[in-house]
Amino acid sequence: RMELSCAPAAPPGPGPPPGPAVADGDEYESLPSGAALGTHMVAGAVAGIMEHTVMYPVDSVKTRMQSLQPDPKAQYRSVYEALKKIVLTEGLWRPLRGINVTMLGAGPAHAMYFACYEKMKKSLSDTLQQGGNSHLANGIAGSVATLLHDAVMNPAEVVKQRMQMFNSPYKSVLSCVRTVQRTEGFGAFYRSYTTQLTMNVPFQAIHFITYEFMQEHINPRREYNPRSHIVSGAVAGAVAAAATTPLDVCKTLLNTQENTALSSLNISGHLSGMLNAFRTVYRLGGLSGFFRGVQARVIYQMPSTAIAWSVYEFFKYFLTKHKPEKRT
């Protein structure tokens, strides 16, 4: 394992020239280039749970702000105002409603997501750009990993968003699952799957390409450097979130089946399909309707992706570093 000492530098002498300086001036050990599949899965699971839980209250606000026909009591001008109003009028724990089903889905979803991404990225990069970092490989790997991630997370998203809505009729996660299953069938848990993929495939492609691009510039030696992982993750999350907000609004409509909005257009039954969702959002809110909650989405995604990448890179580094020591 290559190690970079944090001790004071030795006097100059013959040898290869030093590599590019890291972003914050500190030196860390190099990140493992070929960690085991289990390492990626454990690191990914922890990162996913952290990402979704730490910023969960802001995610609750985002869901409400994307409502196309909000109740007068649930109209908010900013994320801060929304959180304050929800806590004061509905109770301290209301912004965390549905967090348990998110934690349940996030662990396995992100374990498969990061493991698939890392393995595909390495294989494709070796094929497309031997010994280098291919942005095309990063984008393709992120897109394929999303298929696995969303297959696990979509049902959890449906339950979570229904419980986040204002005046949600569901008393618990189990109650919500049973009611949706009984009244709308199993298909309701995957009604927004195609829209979710249509949103998340470009989101993750933009996300991973931006992250790897940022790493190339601020952490060129690809070392374990927490600051570079946080900054790269935050920038990647913000860019991808802003670009895909219109699709997120459509996904929220399909997940929540917002009664007031559908009734105002005389839509009976349940709304399904991405094209129907697009038409409905446009009829109710025009072009600006596609950007409802964009502020909350960016505010949520920036720290979320920063947390996910910093936690993931830490655990990948930590688990790989300590494996030989544990065996000894």
Domain-located, residue 326:
no
Domain-located, residue 119:
yes
pLDDT at 268: 75
For residue 77, how many other CB atoms are within 10 A of its CB? 10
Domain-located, residue 48:
yes
pLDDT at 3: 37
Domain-located, residue 214:
yes
Residue 41 to residue 108: CA distance in whole angstroms: 8
What residues make up the domain containing 172?
37-317
Residue 177 burial (10 A CB sphere; 0-12, 13-18, 19+): middle
Domain-located, residue 93:
yes
Give me the CATH number covering residue 214.
Answer: 1.50.40.10
Question: By the 8 A CB rule, do 307 and 55 touch?
Answer: yes
**Structural domains in the chain (count):** 1
- Cα separation of the two ends of the chain: 15
Residue 251 to residue 199: CA distance in whole angstroms: 8
* Torsion angle (degrees, nearest 10) of CA 81, 86, 91, 94: -120
Domain-located, residue 7:
no
Task: Provide the residue type at 297 as one letter.
Answer: R
Domain-located, residue 27:
no
pLDDT at 57: 94
pLDDT at 274: 84
- Phi, psi torsion values for 135, nearest 5 degrees: -65, -30
Domain-located, residue 24:
no
Provide block-wise average pLDDT over 10 residues at a time, the chain (328 residues). 39 45 42 70 91 92 90 90 95 94 94 90 81 79 89 94 93 94 93 87 88 92 91 95 92 86 80 87 91 92 93 88 53
pLDDT at 22: 40
pLDDT at 188: 92
Task: Provide the residue type at 313 as one letter.
Answer: E
Query: Pick from 93, 58, 94, 91: which is nearest to 76 by CA?
Result: 58
